[in-house]
A and B are shown apart, each in its own frame.
Chain A
């Protein structure tokens, strides 16, 4: 029988906390970046110009239909060669994860926008609003309320997806965990602790999303 000894991890607490800090900061950055990309892609999807719709759809499908791990590696090794630029692992990770998230956010945002009754934009137009103003003041604020639960679900996935940046040696929680496991010869304790840490952060969020969804259904 294996003898568990979590106390060993205390020696590495700063390393692990640092990793957690990077994971959280990464998530914040790719959620914000992804939503900006997703909003842009959603607005292009709803554009009356065919070229914008096609470009947006191409972007979304390219990122939805390839694995995020392949994208990360591609952004780090292939893109710099093709573009003749150099990229740090952090930059490549942020870009790949934001685009990946953006592709999924775009569909959620598009769905939220079209779910708002056409009479709302008509009323805005009849009052002399340009489509852009009506979108900003009338449609988006209403759509956003409906979009919060699915956007948060996707962001929870994004939080977990940051674990993949360890393959590019970005020192996130998983990467630091690998270091700790190697150093301490205690991989079971290390990875168990890491799993618990992810769970402790995400579980309250999933409960919150569930409550929001229930509230939206009843209202």
Chain B
């Protein structure tokens, strides 16, 4: 356990879409260099929670701190300004289920885009930085191809490089392997695992239970907008204390049996 303050702190977070309460009083922390996996059935609110951490979804109530930046929300508080939001998001990397690469730009341009236009790095520096990130995900030889020529797994690795090029304090993964063909999942998981080994603070929404058990040091299990159970990854996955967690995991193990 580190003694320094956690990198991410979420306090009493609430979010509703219309009448539907998606997040009901969520509290959790991620230590610096920690990897937390968010597990739970679909509709449990885990993706919304992840999107709240970089404020792609603005919470109704509660507080979020990442690094030294804190945002508090509530009916009497003014929502954050566009520029504050943008500056904050530039320090958190996010990887999406559908990659969301920019199809009108080459792989290299995808990775350089934010360093040039958001961080305002000189083009040369941005290019060096982008090439280094592509090297890290093993795709520097694809730098000048267009995204449409890549496989799903390669696209997702480019998306990871693109997020890393902003040199973020934390990385958020939103079901990063769910849209991939089964044989392409492992190359993306290996890339994420490498990041974990490098000490990146990460929150990972995933359905890959075995991967969560392997890479995450903590898991947070959610259902119906609340945290049902949380704890050290292996212990919580191997010996869940709560009935809801057991039920969810048992579905999963059944699903994976054929292998």
Contact = CB atoms under 8 A, between A and B. Distances in A.
Interface of A: 117, 119-120, 122-123, 125-131, 133, 137-138, 141-142, 145
Contacts of B87: 128
A123 B96 contact: yes
A122 B166 contact: no
Contacts of B163: 126-127
Given A125-B56, A128-B88, A142-B104, 9 more contacts: A119-B100, A123-B96, A125-B89, A126-B96, A127-B163, A128-B86, A128-B89, A130-B86, A131-B82
Interface in B82-101: 82-83, 85-94, 96, 98, 100-101
29 contacts: A117-B100, A119-B96, A120-B100, A122-B56, A122-B96, A122-B100, A123-B96, A123-B101, A123-B159, A125-B56, A126-B54, A126-B92, A126-B94, A126-B96, A127-B90, A127-B113, A127-B162, A128-B87, A128-B118, A128-B119, A129-B117, A129-B118, A131-B82, A133-B117, A137-B117, A138-B102, A142-B102, A142-B103, A142-B104
Contact of A128 (B98, B103, B166): B166
A153 to B, nearest CB: 23
B52 interface: no
B224 to A, nearest CB: 25
Secondary structure at chain A's binding surface: helix, strand, loop or mixed? helix
Nearest to A120: B100
B56 A141 contact: no
Nearest to B54: A126
Interface of B: 54, 56, 82-83, 85-94, 96, 98, 100-104, 113-114, 117-119, 159, 162-163, 166
Contacts of B162: 127
A133 to B, nearest CB: 6
A129 B90 CA distance: 7
Q: B88, B94, B103, B117: which has the most chain A beta carbons within 10 Å?
A: B117
A105 B31 CA distance: 52
B100 A127 contact: no
Contact of B86 (A125, A137, A138): A125
B166 A127 contact: yes
Given A119-B96, A122-B96, A127-B162, A133 B118 contact: yes
Contacts of A131: 82
Q: A122, A127, A145: which has the most chain B beta carbons within 10 Å?
A: A127
A130 B83 contact: yes
Contact of B82 (A126, A127, A130): A130
A126 B56 contact: yes
Contacts of B117: 129, 133, 137
A126 B159 CA distance: 11
Contacts of A137: 113, 117
Contacts of A129: 86, 114, 117-118
A127 B118 contact: yes
A125 B56 CA distance: 7
Nearest to B148: A219
Contacts of B88: 128
A127 B102 CA distance: 12
A52 B104 CA distance: 30
A122 B163 CA distance: 13
A31 to B, nearest CB: 24
Which are the 8 A-B pairs with shortest beta-carbon distances? A128-B90, A123-B100, A127-B114, A126-B94, A119-B100, A128-B118, A130-B86, A128-B89
Q: A123, A133, A141: which has the most chain B beta carbons within 10 Å?
A: A123
A86 to B, nearest CB: 43
A125 to B, nearest CB: 6
